[in-house]
Amino acid sequence: MRLRNVRGSREVIAVNEYVVRDEQTMKGRWHELFGNDNPIHIEVGMGKGRFIMDMARLNPDINYVGIEKFSSVLIRAIEKQEIEKLPNLYFIRMEAEYLENVFDKSEVSYIYLNFSDPWPKDRHAKRRLTSVQFLERYKNILSNGGGVTFKTDNRPLFDFTIEQADAAGWRKESVTYDLHNSPYAEGNVMTEYEERFSSMGNPICRIVYYPE
């Protein structure tokens, strides 16, 4: 993602009602914020938030938390949420490595990873959001029966993801190398990157998997 410094984004994030600050104090208390006991789904690396906003609109009985590390991107999601004011959606600006400081054991029912950064150099493999290191973090916050969906057009990253899922002993429920021409296409909610890359003709890979 090409990052531009968006002037004023940090200031908006510092006061916006849809951004949770002091997110570590929310650990174990997310239901208080939403005011109900509905399941919590998170998207890690949500970018400008198109996917998570569509999901929150389609599923009012699920609570969503969008996680993004860069203010300049998060601001675009905030601008849209300022207009829509979806009651079941909040954002956090944070580095995903620290997810376990923010969500308690079993507090999250589902995790979405969409078009995560590939970190192509071997020495950066641990930073990939589908590495065994990240899978361990997800396992520690997922509730019983909770899982992860990962989509990408990056085949080497997808192959790495499958390898890491096997190494961590996760159960793969479904894997496709061409989501849009597969039986799983129905009901698929597109992300910003998915729209861009599939319109260039790139097939989209997708895995659904569980830490059991």
Q: Does 176 bind ligand SAM (CB under 6 A)?
A: no
Question: Smallest distance, Å, CB 145 to ligand SAM?
Answer: 24
Residue 36 vs 79, nearer CB to ligand SAM: 79
Plot region of 106 (φ>0 → left; ψ -120 to 50 → alpha; else → beta): left
Q: Site for ligand SAM (CB under 6 A): which residue of 115, 170, 197, 209?
A: 115
For residue 13, what are the CA distances in angstroms to 29, 71, 94, 143?
21, 7, 12, 29
Question: End-to-end distance of the chain based on CA atoms, in angstroms?
Answer: 33
Q: Site for ligand SAM (CB under 6 A): which residue of 20, 56, 65, 73?
A: 73
d(C-alpha 65, C-alpha 61), whole Å:
13
d(C-alpha 148, C-alpha 127), whole Å:
17
Catalytic-role residue among 22, 61, 104, 117: 117
Q: Does 149 bind ligand SAM (CB under 6 A)?
A: no
Q: Does 23 bind ligand SAM (CB under 6 A)?
A: no
83 is written with which tokens? 């207009």
Question: Where would I find the beta strands (DSSP E) of the chain?
Answer: 40-44, 63-68, 89-93, 108-114, 142-152, 171-176, 205-210
Three-state SS string across 106-123, please? CCEEEEEEECCCCCCCHH
Known catalytic residue at 166: no
Question: Smallest distance, Å, CB 60 to ligand SAM?
Answer: 22
Q: Does 68 bind ligand SAM (CB under 6 A)?
A: yes
Q: Does 114 bind ligand SAM (CB under 6 A)?
A: yes
Question: Smallest distance, Å, CB 109 to ligand SAM?
Answer: 19
Residues belonging to the active site: 117
Interacting residues with ligand SAM (CB under 6 A): 1, 45-47, 67-70, 73, 95-96, 114-117, 191-194
